[in-house]
Amino acid sequence: MICNLNALFVWLYAISGAISIVKAQTQQVFQVDSKPVAPLSTKERIAIIGAGAGGASAAYYLQRYSDNAYDITVFEKNKYIGGRSTTVNVHDDPSWPVELGASIFVKENLNLMAAAKDLGLTVRSSELGRVKKQDDISVEDSFGIWDGKSFVFSASSESSWKSIAKMLYQYGTAPIKARRLAKQTLGSFLKYYEESNFPFQNLTEISNRYGLVNLTDETAYNYFTEKGISELFVDQIVQAATRVNYAQNVKKVQALEAVVCLAADEGLNVEGGNWRIFDAMLQKSSATVRLQTTVTEILRSSSDAGKWELRVNDAEDAEVFDQIIIASPYHQTGIGGSLFNIPEVPYMTLYVTLFTSTKRLSPTYFGLPNSATVPTMLLTTLPADEEKGSHMPPIFNSISIIRYIPETKEYVYKIFSPSKITPSFLQLIFLPGAEFGWVYEKTWKPYPKLDPVAKFTDWKLDEDGIWYLNGIEQFISTMETASLAGANVAAMIVGSNNNTVISVP
C-alpha cells in the first residue's frame, strides 16, 4: 500500500471545516499498554514471512500480548525492513532522505500512532507539496488537477478563502457531502478496534456487520453518485484521489478505498522515514530477522505432528516451526506448491521516478500561460469526453515537488506512473535547459487491483497454524490496515493459549 494521503485531502478538510462541518471526534479505544497474559511454559516457534507493516506488527504484538512468550523468526526476501515503506537518499546523502513508498499516515491511524509513541519515534507533519522559501526562491504551496490538456481545478494556500469559494462554485455542496460520508465511514471502521470486537475472527463478517461491504462491493463512481454527489466532483476530485493513491479510476476501483482517501486530515510521517516504525517493532519483539532470505517451500512436518517445515533459498535442510504467519502477498513470496487455497489477486504495477532539477515544470506543456507557475502538487484525472477521443489522457498519475535542497539549489520531484518515465518525456515537460542531477527509479506492485469484492480471505488457512494477513488489502490497502491485520492475528494466536482479554494498545 502506497497510500499517499496528501495535500489535496488536507485541502478538502480545510474547506469543509471552513463551512461549518463538525469534525467527528475519534473515540480513543487504544490503551497505552495491553494486559499481558501469562507466558507459555515453553516458547512456541513462529515464523513470519515478510518484514513490512504486517509482519513487523505481528511480531511486535505477539510479544506484547504474551509478555515475550514466543521465539520469532522473520524472513524477508529484500535487503531492508519496511516492505513498501522505505526511503532513499537524494544524491546518496543520508541527510536528504525521501519516501519511496508509503509516504503518509494520519492521526486516525490509531495503531501506527500508538506504536510510534510506544517506540519513542518522532511523528511530524508531512511537508509533501509544501516547499518553503529557500535562498530567495519562493515556491508556493499549491495543487492542481490536470486532465491531459488543461487544469480542471487548481488552488493555492496563499488564497485559501478564494480557493474555498472556487471549489464551492465549481462543485456545489459535493465537497460537504463527500466529507460527511467519509467521516461516517471512518466511524464505522474504528469499531473494528473496540475491545468488544477485537480480535475479529472474520473480516467478511465484521465488515458486513458495520455496513462496509456495501462499499467494497460497489465501484466508487456508482457509490458516490448514488449518494447524491455530483458526477463532476467524482470524476475530478475523487478520481484524482484514487489515481494518486491506488493508480485506479473511479469506474473500476471499489468505493471504500476512495472514501478512505477523502477521510484524511493532516498528513504525518516519522522523522527519518516511516519504515522506522516497523524496524523498531522488530527490535522490540527480539525477533531474529533474516534479510535477503526467500521462503521457497512450506510443508507439513513429517516428524512433528501439527508442526511445519520451512525451506529458504532452495536449501535442502528445513526448519521446523509451530506456526507460520504469511505477511506478504502470497503469490509474490516465491513459495512453491499449492498447499494453501489463497485466491490469486492481481497487483497493480507502479513506476516511481524520483529526480532532482534546478528547473520547474513547463507551464505551456500543461496548458498554462508562459507567465504561470505549475502547481507543486500535480494530480491527474481523465478527460471529461474521453470516449469521444478529444485528447489523450495523462500518462502519469501525479508529479510533486517533495522537497528543496538549498545546498544544490535543486527541487526533488516524484512521479507516479503506470509506465516507465523516459528522459525525453522529462525534457518535454520541463522548462528549456533542464538538467537532472540525480535520478532514482523503482517499480512496485504496491496494492491489489481493487475491483469490487464482498468476501475476503480468511486469516487462518490451516487449523494447525498457518495464517495470512494480506487478504485485508482487498478491503483497505494502507500501512495502518496492514498493521491492524498483524495485531489482530497476533491477538488470535495469543488468545488461543490464554483466557485473558486482549485489546489493541
What are the tens digits of pLDDT across the range 47-86? 999 999 999 999 999 999 999 999 999 999 999 999 999 9
CB 71 within 8 A of CB 44: yes
Q: How many domains does one find in the chain?
A: 1
Is 106 in contact with 266 (CB distance < 8 Å)?
Answer: yes
pLDDT of residue 150: 93
Mean pLDDT of 195-213: 96
β-strands 308-312, 319-321: how paired?
antiparallel
In a domain, 362, yes or no: yes
Higher-confidence residue of 128 and 162: namely 162
At CA 386, angle to CA 229 and CA 451, rounded to 5?
60
| 153, 136 Cβ separation under 8 angstroms | no
Radius of gyration of the CA atoms of the chain, in A = 23
pTM: 0.90
Question: Does residue 58 fall inside a structural domain?
Answer: no
Question: Does residue 379 sit within a domain?
Answer: yes
454 assigned to some structural domain:
no
- Please report the pLDDT score of residue 334 as a whole number: 86
Residue-level pLDDT at 19: 34
Residue 387 to residue 117: CA distance in whole angstroms: 50
Among 59-68, 218-227, 261-270, 429-438, the minimum mean pLDDT is found in 261-270
Q: Give per-residue pLDDT as tens, 311-347.
A: 998 788 899 999 999 999 999 998 977 678 888 899 9
Bigger pLDDT: 496 or 203?
A: 203
Write out the three cell numbers for 400: 510533486
C-alpha atoms less than 13 angstroms from C-alpha of 115 in its C-beta half-sphere: 36
Q: Residues 407-413: what's their mean pLDDT?
A: 93
Least reliable range by pLDDT among 171-180, 387-396, 403-412, 435-444: 387-396
Q: Over range 101-119, report the average pLDDT.
A: 86
Name the average pLDDT for the chain: 86
Whole-number pLDDT of residue 126: 72
- Pairing type for strands 350-357 and 70-75 reads unpaired
pLDDT at residue 157, rounded to an integer: 62
Is 379:8 a contact under the CB 8 Å cutoff?
A: yes
H/E stretch holding 87 reads strand 87-89
Examine residue 174 and state whether it is found in any structural domain, yes or no: no
In a domain, 326, yes or no: no
pLDDT classification of 263: cutoffs 50, 70, 90: confident
Task: Please give the residue range of the domain that contains residue 433.
Answer: 129-168+349-444
Q: pLDDT confidence of 262, banded at 50, 70, 90?
A: confident
* d(C-alpha 121, C-alpha 275), whole Å: 11
Kindly state whether residue 115 falls inside one of the protein's structural domains.
no
**Block residue for cell numbers 495523462:** 394
> At what angle are helices 53-66 and 479-495 packed, to 10 degrees?
30
User: How sure is the predictor about 255, in pLDDT bands with cuts at 50, 70 and 90?
Assistant: very high
Asked if residue 398 belongs to a domain, the reply is yes
